[in-house]
Amino acid sequence: MPSVTLDSVVAVHPRVSIRPEPFGALLYHFSTRQLSFLKDRMLLEVVRACDGTRTLGEALGTTGVPAAQTARYLRAVETLVASRMLESASAGTAPRRTAPDSATISTEAVA
Amino acid sequence: MTLVAPTPTATTTTAAPPTPHRTSSTLLGHFERGLDAPICLTWELTYACNLSCSHCLSSSGRRDPRELTTEECKGIIDELQRMQVFYVNIGGGEPTVRSDFWELVDYATAHQVGVKFSTNGVKITPEVAQRLAASDYVDVQISLDGATAEVNDAVRGPGSYDLAMRAMQNLADAGFRGFKISVVCTRENIPQLDDFKAIADRFQAQLRLTRLRPSGRGADVWDDLHPLPHQQRELYDWLVANGEGVLTGDSFFHLSAFGEALPGLNLCGAGRVVCLIDPIGDVYACPFAIHDEFLAGSIREPGGFEGVWRHSELFQKLREPTGGGACGSCAFYDSCRGGCMAAKFFTGLPLDGPDPECVRGFGEQLLAERATDALPKPTADHSHRTSPPRPRGSAGPVPLTLSIRRPDAQPAHACAESPLAGFTPTAVTACACGGH
Amino acid sequence: MTPSPAPQNTVVEAPSGELIDEESLVEEVSIDGMCGVY
């Protein structure tokens, strides 16, 4: 796993659904079936700021993460990259689609 | 009620368990209070089934005439999408016998609702397996309760093992890796855990072991089929040693007192993070609790599914903090949380006391003391019409009233509407009483 | 019967639902990890 730094550019994977909760958020990855819980709202805002156009450092700054908490949020982002909720992106990534598009099963006659 | 420690049962020694993930109390607190939408849920699409498994938790067999229409089902999926329910576990009965089954699966996955469906394999032909293998968002779960036909078919009926095996072969041949094989652990199949793992490995499938609950027809066979205390320990030890990659549906949080908790939330999710939608649109706390006591409402009410989830009295009650009740003073309450609500209910135990399979033996004591003549029964029974089930809680004979039809009487036609059908007045001569 | 060992988090947990220092901000659970689903 490549390590994540403040210079990394990451984006939410297009197959991830983000569901805000009072305590933070639930993230579900439709391809991996992985479920992740974000345990605070600030982390949710950091994740939302990860749109593939800015570095992590910029995302933490925009969100207002205190300097003393930087390492903690960086570790959280690393965890999300490891589970593929977030993925490395080059700047200018296309906007993400959230609808899973599946090959339909019923289109052909089924015995 | 005072719990007195019973004589300890024999336990196997075990090597130090690995240190698995344990959900923080922060998160547990949020889940116990309930979320604004389920994370996932079980949806029984039909009570119809081609089999009659002896332990069926939904007492399935015959279709209910009030079954949800295709449009009603799509309406539910629309709601689930809006609420961001991520995943739905479709079952039944046998869900694939609905003629709109594939249409509904496609509709769900096209609307951001992941699907896993449970099946006995009856419709998993090679062609169907090919299409499933090509879909990214549909998971398949084949039910199997014995690693041999002998053990399996004793519960699921003759030919059911072969049916499941054929379906699994078709899935494997189509390149579908990672389908689930779901086993209900019983007294008869716990000796076969290694064999189940071998079957899963052979098909490149994922093994899932779940708990037998005394629900539906399960109540009739629970006394004979539920694991013995030493088998619970065997199962726990096996999961700790071999359970990497084995799913459990968080069924075994009642075994946490044996040592480290197994992976999963380790709490009862009923009405808090999960629930059941049944074939006629009734919403229950969980699929193991199909009984009026755990009926929260119906999707056919004006508020729909969301209204029931958020505002039903039952779910609000389940989301209130409870003390441990009689279990509160037990040192292991924190890990086992008093066990399974449905298991307690259907064995006639109080909900604020120990699980019938409490690993410390407190449940066994209560089972021995309870009255077994009035155990809760679900109001509806969709079983195929066969011989009456054995009475629960005892091995005694089934009481029958035998009557002898008068030899000269014509039996009334079953559809006759007249209340006098079958009544043949005899000519009155002298009345024996002499009064008139 | 041995009692359950201490929880894996580094600090004693508060029951109120507040985050404790050092506790990870992310937790992962399998979609199969919820009891009440079949």
Is residue C32 assigned to a domain? Answer: no
Domain of residue C20, residue span: 1-25
Is residue A76 assigned to a domain? Answer: yes
Is residue C10 assigned to a domain? Answer: yes
Residues of C with CB under 8 A from a CB of A: 17, 19, 23-31, 33
CB < 8 Å to B78, chain A: none
Is residue A3 assigned to a domain? Answer: no
Is residue C14 assigned to a domain? Answer: yes
- CATH number at A76 reads 3.90.930.70
Is residue C1 assigned to a domain? Answer: yes
CB < 8 Å to B253, chain C: 35
Which B-chain residues 111-150 have CB contacts (< 8 A) with chain A? Answer: 111-112, 114, 125, 127-128, 131-132, 134-139
Q: Residue B60 and residue B28: Cα distance in Å, rounded?
A: 34
Q: Which of A17, A39, A99 sits opposite B84 (nearest CB)?
A: A17
Q: What is the pLDDT along chain B (436 residues), one digit of tens a residue?
A: 444 544 444 444 444 333 445 788 888 889 999 999 999 999 999 999 999 999 999 999 999 999 999 999 999 999 999 999 999 999 999 999 999 999 999 999 999 999 999 999 999 999 999 999 999 999 999 999 999 999 999 999 999 999 999 999 999 999 999 999 999 999 999 999 999 999 999 999 999 999 999 999 999 999 999 999 999 999 999 999 998 999 999 999 999 999 988 999 998 999 999 999 999 999 999 999 999 999 999 999 999 999 999 999 999 999 998 888 999 899 999 889 899 999 999 999 999 999 999 999 999 999 999 888 889 998 789 999 875 444 555 444 545 555 555 545 454 555 555 556 555 555 444 444 544 4
Q: How many domains does chain A have?
A: 1
Is residue A66 assigned to a domain? Answer: yes
Best of A28, A32, A44, A107 to disrupt the B interface (most B CBs within 10 Å) is A28
Q: Residue B162 and residue B159: Cα distance in Å, rounded?
A: 5
Q: How many domains does chain C have?
A: 1
Q: Residue B170 and residue B179: Cα distance in Å, rounded?
A: 11
Does the CB of C29 have a partner CB in chain B at under 8 Å? yes
Beta-carbon contacts below 8 Å between B and C? 121
Is residue A50 assigned to a domain? Answer: yes
Is residue C38 assigned to a domain? Answer: no
ipTM of the complex: 0.86
Domain of residue A29, residue span: 10-110
**Both tokens of residue B154?**
């004793």
Is residue C19 assigned to a domain? Answer: yes
A9-12 β-sheet, strand order: A51-55, A9-12, A86-88
Is residue A4 assigned to a domain? Answer: no
Is residue A1 assigned to a domain? Answer: no
Is residue C9 assigned to a domain? Answer: yes
SS3 C35: strand
Burial (0-12, 13-18, 19+ Cβ within 10 Å), B249: buried
Is residue A5 assigned to a domain? Answer: no
